[in-house]
Structure 1
Amino acid sequence: MYIPPPFASQDAAIAARLMREHPLASLVTVGDDGLPVVTHLPLHVQQGGAGHFTLWGHVARANPQWRQLAVRPRATVTFMGPHAYMSPSVYPDLTRVPTWSYLAVHSEVTARLIDHDDADAKDRLLKCLIGEHEPTYAQQWRDLSPEFQRKMLAGIVGFELKVDRWQCALKLNQHRPEAHAAMHAQYAAGTPNERALADWMGVLGLVSLPEPKE
């Protein structure tokens, strides 16, 4: 991923937060025709020490991409966070142009498929995703008949994606501090994506936010 230096982050905690808050990732492999193959899917992020990550997920067994991972386990995974148009009106001078603000994480990964017959491993994987997105569903899943559970588990292929290298882009106009106050004000009054960017400006210390009221 091309990242101009002002927008590159090496902070693993920031990257982990971004991936967890925006878990719908794009898994990118290369097909036999040399063209990219992309699946959009939620991934569970496991963070280790020294900025190391492992991603866990699954695709439908009918999705041929898992067969590509079995033969060529190297892949790219991208996470897109909030993003929005940025008007040049935030600058105090007129010699400016529009741009787009965004937050993203790109990872180079090596895949390991979960054995098709290892229903317990796939069940644990599903419970990780359930625990992140709807913990109350866990009991409903447990109450389903064993036969139905086996059928559902047989219909997916799970995998572990070891992150070999990651990049985090936080494109929030860091190099133009004269625009930050107006930029934050515009975003804070805008769409959900824009409000999320305003919050991230506070997280990154680009603006001073008021102390929360007691």
Structure 2
Amino acid sequence: MGRRAAAMTGTFSPGSPADVAAFVRAQMLALVVSHGPGGYATTPLPLLPETDDAGEVIEFFGHFARANPQVAMVRDRPRALILFQGPQAYIPPAWVSTPGWAPTWNYAVAQFEVDIQLRPQENDRAIAELVNVLEGREPDGWTIEAMGDRYARMLPHIVAFRATVVRAQAKFKLGQDESDTAFDEIVTALGDTPLSQMMRAARQP
């Protein structure tokens, strides 16, 4: 999986770099965490991943509000952390018939250590690509043209950025170590939810 994904090993590791890319595309909203002389700053932002030929995430594209104090932080200290939290739930023993089975928590997370480069020259592209992903190319989808003159006035109030991935770590704790019986009982109790869907997908050979 390469240098960036070297930490993605173990029982609860994703099956492939493409699994991680699919996960962050599905979650989309990330926490961008920076550190400076005044401490930590965190901003929730929708981010678009870019991948290499192997499907591994190598970069994120997004934008800050220009008034966000974190802009100055990443300008001075580009190294940051990007965190994605997926579906999660407490799994109680009452759901499982196995004697002595202990409670657990199932979840999916991915974190990326990145270097952020502010790219104000790409403000327009950052908005256009985000709108395209969220609204699609359907005839009735919302477009930036609907904003009229307000769009041009808005652009100077954001600053686009690209975050180059330095290293990555992901953990999908989705019942991979459960017996078939316990696994079936858990997903039945969860019902048709994003977590149970992700568990079933991870269970497939």
TM-score normalised according to structure 1 size: 0.82
1:10/1:69 CA distance change after superposition, 3 Å: farther
The answer to whether the aligner puts 1:122 opposite 2:110 as a matched pair is no
Q: Which runs of 5+ in 1 are unaligned?
A: 190-194, 208-214
Q: Contact conserved, 1:9 with 1:167, CA < 8 A, in 2?
A: no
Q: Which amino acid aligns with 2:124?
A: D
Question: CA separation in 2, counterparts of 1:100 and 1:172?
Answer: 9
Q: What is the alpha-carbon root mean square deviation over aligned residues? A: 2.1
Taking the aligned partners of 1:103 and 1:10, their CA distance within structure 2 comes to 13
Structure 1 residue corresponding to 2:110, chosen from 102, 105, 109: 105
Three-state SS of the structure 2 residue aligned to 1:63 is coil
- List, as ranges, runs of 4+ consecutive aligned residues in structure 1 with deviation greater than 4 Å: none
Identity of aligned residues (%): 29
* CA distance, structure 2, for counterparts of residue 85 and residue 144 of structure 1: 43
2:173 is matched with which residue: 167, 171, 174? 171
Q: Where in structure 2 are there 5+ consecutive unaligned residues?
A: 1-6
Flag the 1:9–1:144 CA change in 2: closer, same or farther, 3 A: closer
Distance 1:20 1:131 in 2: 13
Deviation of residue 53 (structure 1)? 2.2
CA contact (8 A) 1:22 1:79 kept: yes
Shift of 1:143: 4.7
Q: Deviations over 1:21-49 (max 9, x none)?
A: 1111000011313x321101111111122
User: How far does the alpha carbon of each residue in 1:186-210 deviate from its partner, in whole angstroms, 9 at most, with x for none?
Assistant: 1125xxxxx1111112211259xxx
* 1:86 counterpart residue number: 91
- Is 1:197 the equivalent of 2:195? yes
Kept after mapping to 1: 8 A contact 2:25/2:48: yes
SS of 1:7 mapped into structure 2: coil
Code of the residue aligned with 1:94 in structure 2: it is P
Equivalence map 1:1-214=2 (5 Å): 5-9=10-14, 11-33=16-38, 35-50=39-54, 51-115=56-120, 118=121, 121-135=122-136, 136-138=141-143, 141-146=144-149, 148-178=150-180, 179-188=182-191, 195-205=193-203
